[in-house]
Amino acid sequence: MTRTQGKRSAVEPQGENILTVDNLDVEYPLKGFRRKPFRALTDINIHIKPGETLGLVGESGSGKTTLGRAILGLAPISKGTVVFEGNDITQADRKQRRSLGRDLQVVFQDPYTSLNPSLEIGDILAEPLGVQGQSPEAARKRVRELLDQVGLPSDAINRLPREFSGGQRQRIAIARALALSPKLIVCDEPVSALDLSTQAVVLDLFLQIQKDTGVSYLFVSHDLDVVRHISHRVAVMYHGEIVEQGTAEQITRDPQHPYTQRLLLASPVPDPDRQAKRRDERHALLEVQRLEEASTLPVS
């Protein structure tokens, strides 16, 4: 099954990191007297270079979305640092975050809920440009450039979000993220709500945009098959920790951690017999991991 017609370059990006996350913990306070806070992330260490895609993969509840939110300043960091372009933004205030918006953007999972249903597409795309002080004429010109960049017709500028398909709405969300020519985009499950053929088109769009602009991506997904097509490197998250990192080829061809092996076996294949064998192998790995985790529990 071909997810995307695009081809990720095998050449690894070089140069100084555009993003470095060191020893990061995220904790959420819990209601109740003397209750310990819930730790969502523990000792996270990742980096991203200019023009690079780091795929962050894990099942629902693994903490991958929380890491993206922490980088964006939307989750409480209790320990560690987030450094963007050499500047520590771990505890950046509201004013600093607003200025960061030019270089650090996000594409969410559900494009419809992230688009104002009462605004025309032209106004949605022009909004961040106006906030940054561009004139209406300059903003309108930039909007038309963005629509062309993501492959949407020029008449989309006067239409509402509900008039577009899911894949087209995701293109609009990508265009909005690109409006200010950012250096890093956090992509939070950007294709998980789309059918396979539309996924392929949107993934190709991400690849082409990166080729044209040199933007970096933190690409969050639960699907290792998607991640391996778009990423230079992959980090695997399990229970709030990074359990394995490496190049996309290393992680998908020779995964070392049992959890990564399970994720790889979970990717569907068209052959029913092979799929059944993969399912049995995945269940066996899961049982082994359960036994190992049970053996580490304290004896009461």
Residue 1 maps to a domain: no
Count of the separate structural domains present in the chain: 2
Give the tokens for residue 4. 């995307």
User: How much is the pLDDT for 34?
Assistant: 82
pLDDT given for residue 98 in this prediction: 86
**Percent of the chain residues topping a pLDDT of 90:** 65
Which amino acid is residue 96, in one-letter code? Q
**Angstrom distance (rounded) from CA 230 to CA 248:** 9
Six token digits for residue 173: 């969300």
Residue 106, domain CATH: 3.40.50.300
Q: Are residues 48 and 113 in the same domain?
A: yes
Residues 6+ apart with CB under 8 A from 220: 56, 57, 64, 65, 67, 68, 186, 187, 188, 189
**Looking at residue 2, what is its pLDDT?**
43
- For residue 6, being part of any structural domain is answered with no
Percent of the chain residues topping a pLDDT of 70: 85
Q: What residues are paired with 104 via a beta bridge? A: 184
- In a domain? residue 207: yes
Q: Compute the average pLDDT of residues 75-82.
A: 96
Please indicate, yes or no, if residue 210 is contained in any of the structural domains.
yes
Alpha-carbon gap, residue 68 to 27, rounded angstroms: 14
The Cα 244–Cα 254 span in angstroms is 11
Token digits of residue 194? 């789309």
| Phi then psi dihedrals of residue 77, to 5 deg | -85, 120
Q: Between 178 and 131, whose confidence is greater?
A: 178
Q: Are residues 72 and 114 in the same domain?
A: yes
Confidence of residue 179 (pLDDT cuts 50, 70, 90): very high
**CA atoms within 13 A of residue 92's CA, in its CB half-sphere:** 23
- State which residues form the domain around 247: 19-256
Q: Is the pLDDT of residue 158 over 90?
A: yes
pLDDT at 67 over 60: yes
Whether 151 has a pLDDT exceeding 90, the answer reads yes
Q: What mean pLDDT do residues 189-213 have?
A: 92
Asked if residue 281 has pLDDT above 70, the reply is no
Q: Which long-range contacts (CB under 8 A, 24 or more apart) does 37-40 make?
A: 37/78, 39/78, 39/240, 40/66, 40/75, 40/240
The packing angle between helices 166-178 and 196-213, to 10°, is 20
Residues 12-44: tens digit of each pLDDT: 787 799 999 999 999 999 988 888 999 999 999
Task: Tell whether 279 and 185 lie within a shared domain.
Answer: no
- Number of Cβ atoms within 10 Å of the Cβ of 280: 11
Burial of 162 (0-12, 13-18, 19+ CB in 10 A): exposed
pLDDT of 279 strictly over 70: no
7 falls within a domain: no
Asked if residue 283 and residue 199 are part of one domain, the reply reads no
Q: Is it the case that residue 214 has pLDDT exceeding 60?
A: yes
My answer on whether 100 and 213 are in the same domain is: yes
Query: Is pLDDT of 278 > 50?
Result: yes
Q: Is the pLDDT of residue 262 over 90?
A: no
2, part of any domain: no
Residue whose C-alpha is closest to residue 237's, from 10, 24, 13: 24
**Residue type (1 letter), 82:** V
180 assigned to some structural domain: yes
Does pLDDT of 209 surpass 90?
A: yes
Q: Are residues 207 and 267 both part of a single domain? A: no
Q: With cut-offs at 50, 70 and 90, classify the pLDDT of residue 4.
A: very low
Q: Is the pLDDT of residue 292 over 80?
A: no
Asked if residue 32 is part of any domain, the answer here is: yes
Q: Identify the residue with better confidence: 293 or 208.
A: 208
| pLDDT of residue 247 exceeding 90 | yes
Based on the domain organization, do 174 and 247 belong to the same domain?
yes
Q: How far is residue 225's CA from residue 243's CA, in Å, rounded to a whole number? A: 18
Residues 173, 243 within the same domain: yes
Q: For the residues 45-49, what does the mean pLDDT come to?
A: 97
DSSP, res 37: P
102 shares its domain with 209: yes
Name the most confidently modeled range: 113-117, 199-203, 235-239.
235-239
Residues 264 and 247 in one domain: no
Whole-number mean pLDDT of the chain?
Answer: 87
Same domain, 55 and 89: yes
pLDDT of 8 reads 63
193 and 274 assigned to the same domain: no
Look at residue 168 and give its three-state secondary structure: helix
